Amino acid sequence: MNADSSAKSSHLFLKRRSLLAGVALFATSIALLLSGGDHSQAQVQVQAAQTDTQADKAQLRQEQLAEKIGEYDALLLDKQDLEEELRMEKSALSTAGLQAANTKKLIHMEIEDFFKEATNRERLNALFEDYKLSAEKANAAALRVNALEQKLSDQHLKFSQAARDVERLKAQLASAVREQNSKRVQEIARHLAQTIDFGESISFRCSTNKSLAACLSDYQYDGRMPQWVRERYQHVLAEQLRDQLSEIRLSPSWYSFDVKSDFSEASMSLDGTITAQVNIQSTITPKKIMACAMLDVPDDLCDIQTHSLIVRSNRLDDQVIINGKSHGSTPVSLMLDSGTYDVQVSSGGATQARTLSLQGDRVVNFRF
Taking Cα atoms as reference points, which of 138, 142, 140, 144 lies closest to residue 99?
A: 138
Region 162-185: what's the mean pLDDT? 86
Phi, psi of 329 (to 5 degrees): -95, 160
DSSP of 161-172, one letter per residue?
HHHHHHHHHHHH
Residues 47 and 165 in one domain: yes
Domain membership of residue 164 (yes or no) is yes
The C-alpha atoms of residue 112 and residue 343 are separated, in whole angstroms, by: 94
pLDDT for residue 342: 94
Residues 138 and 78 in one domain: yes
- The answer to whether the beta carbons of residues 42 and 28 sit under 8 Å apart is yes
> Going by C-beta distance under 8 Å and a sequence separation of 6 or more, which residues neighbour residue 270?
208
Range in 2-16, 104-118, 128-142, 174-188 with the lowest mean pLDDT:
2-16
Residues 105 and 18 in one domain: yes
List, for residues 9-37, the tens digit of each pLDDT value.
444 444 444 444 444 444 445 444 444 44
Residues 265 and 321 in one domain: no
The C-alpha atoms of residue 212 and residue 72 are separated, in whole angstroms, by: 78
Region 297-322: what's the mean pLDDT? 86
pTM score, whole prediction: 0.47
Q: Across the chain, what does the average pLDDT equal?
A: 83
Residues 228 and 144 in one domain: no
**Continuous H helices in the chain:** 2-35, 39-114, 121-189, 212-218, 225-240, 290-295
Phi, psi of 287 (to 5 degrees): -80, 165
Domain membership of residue 300 (yes or no) is no
pLDDT for residue 228: 94
Taking Cα atoms as reference points, which of 57, 53, 29 lies closest to residue 41?
A: 29
Residues 52 and 174 in one domain: yes
The tally of domains found in the chain comes to 3
Residues 20 and 166 in one domain: yes
The C-alpha atoms of residue 175 and residue 183 are separated, in whole angstroms, by: 12
Q: Which amino acid is at 307?
A: H
Residues 42 and 150 in one domain: yes
Output DSSP code: residue 120.
G
Residue 268 has pLDDT above 70, yes or no: yes
Region 226-247: what's the mean pLDDT? 93
Output DSSP code: residue 331.
S
Residues 176 and 53 in one domain: yes
Region 39-63: what's the mean pLDDT? 66
Residues 281 and 150 in one domain: no
CATH at residue 162: 1.10.287
Range of the domain at 213: 195-295
